[in-house]
């Protein structure tokens, strides 16, 4: 699927932008189903998601989402009285994490042969899709996602996780596009997220600083795919604009590598989703 030049760019920068990879019909089907899930869901007010205050996350609800489809509210969705500040369809941070297993619209999309070909072009012997998320970055209340590396949450030996970040809507500087550190994937893994007996914790590994003054913004058009290495530092600002920034993410690992039993996301019942 990729040219030698594209492979070299991924090796050098840690990411690759592939424009116009999704048709308008594909995008709209995914968007429509995401909002349908929200309308159908029996939502729990305690199911919030935040990268700036992980104490707000309900661990049991979060861990159960590894093999389910669950909605998580934005950190700022509720006022001090516990009332939603805008309609619930505009209050959800994300839906995850087994959409590709349990939602036919997402399953059909994930089965596109070129997505497996892409992972193999980037060195995966046995591409396996472990997690899917729809991330809304809601207007006015969309939360910041602090600098991080996805291999923190999907540890394999050796490191193999690749992120597919599909823009379902235009991502702009105003509505919270991704920022990346070109070449930063060659640096160390700074943290690991551990799950032990129902408890979740972040353990520091390396004190290399995050690229707070050296990031590169990645505004992209709807229908584009940004694919990046699991060690690539990336970030997105809060969204205070009047436009959402929907994205669909895949986290793909090489099933030929050892997947850590301490990772928060485990799939004992769903098994491996081969690509």
- The 3-state secondary structure of the chain, one letter per residue: CCCHHHHHHHHHHCEEEECCCCCHHHHHHHHHHHHHHHHHCCCCCCCEECCCCHHHCCHHHHHHHHHCEEEEEECCCECCCCCECCCHHHCEEEEEECHHHHCHHHHHHHCCHHHHHHHHHCCCCCEEEEEEEEECCCCCCECCEEEECHHHCCCEECCCCEEEEEECCCECCCCCCEEECCCHHHCCCCEEEEEECCEEEEEECCCCCCCCCCCEEECECCCCEEEEECCCCEEECCECCCCCCCEEEEEEEECCCEECCCCCCCCCCCCCEEC
Q: pLDDT band at residue 54, thresholds of 50, 70 and 90?
A: low
Q: pLDDT band at residue 42, thresholds of 50, 70 and 90?
A: confident
Residues 6+ away with beta carbon under 8 Å from 2: 10, 16, 118, 121, 122
Prior bond to 54 cis, omega within 30?
no
Indicate whether 196 pLDDT > 70: yes
Indicate whether 45 pLDDT > 70: no
Quick: pLDDT tens for 175-185. 999 999 999 99
Higher pLDDT, residue 242 or 76: 242
Indicate whether 56 pLDDT > 60: no
Quick: pLDDT tens for 77-121. 888 888 888 998 999 999 999 999 999 999 999 999 999 999 999
Q: pLDDT band at residue 52, thresholds of 50, 70 and 90?
A: low
CA 168 to the chain's CA centroid: 13
Average pLDDT, the chain: 94
Q: pLDDT band at residue 75, thresholds of 50, 70 and 90?
A: confident
Indicate whether 53 pLDDT > 90: no
* Count of residues in the chain: 275
**What average pLDDT does the segment 7-15 reach?**
98
Residue-level pLDDT at 48: 58
Q: Which tokens hold the place of 74?
A: 């934005």
Indicate whether 248 pLDDT > 80: yes
């Amino acid at each position: 699927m990729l040219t030698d030049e594209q492979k070299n760019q991924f090796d050098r920068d840690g990411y690759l932008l592939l424009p116009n990879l999704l048709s308008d019909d594909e995008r709209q089907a995914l968007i429509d189903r995401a909002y349908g899930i929200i309308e159908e869901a029996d939502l729990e007010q305690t199911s919030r998601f935040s990268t700036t205050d992980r104490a707000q996350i309900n661990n049991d609800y979060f861990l159960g989402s590894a093999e389910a489809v669950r909605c998580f509210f934005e950190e700022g969705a509720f006022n001090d009285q516990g009332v939603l500040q805008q309609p619930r369809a505009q209050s959800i941070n994300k839906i995850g994490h087994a959409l590709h297993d349990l939602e036919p619209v997402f399953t059909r999309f994930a089965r596109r042969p070129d997505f497996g070909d892409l992972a193999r072009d980037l060195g995966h012997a046995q591409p396996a899709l472990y997690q899917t998320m729809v991330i809304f970055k809601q207007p006015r209340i969309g939360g910041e996602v602090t600098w991080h590396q996805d291999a923190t949450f999907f540890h394999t030996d050796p490191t193999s996780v690749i992120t597919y970040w599909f823009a379902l809507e235009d991502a702009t500087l105003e509505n919270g596009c991704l920022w990346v550190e070109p070449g930063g994937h060659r640096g160390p893994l700074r943290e690991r997220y551990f799950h032990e007996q129902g408890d979740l914790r972040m353990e520091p590994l390396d004190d290399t600083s995050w690229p707070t003054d050296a990031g590169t913004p990645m505004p992209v058009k709807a229908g584009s795919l940004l694919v990046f290495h699991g060690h690539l530092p990336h970030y997105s600002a809060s969204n205070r604009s009047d436009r959402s920034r929907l994205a669909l993410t895949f986290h793909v690992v090489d099933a030929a590598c050892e997947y850590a039993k301490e990772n928060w996301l485990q799939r004992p019942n769903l098994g491996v989703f081969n690509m």
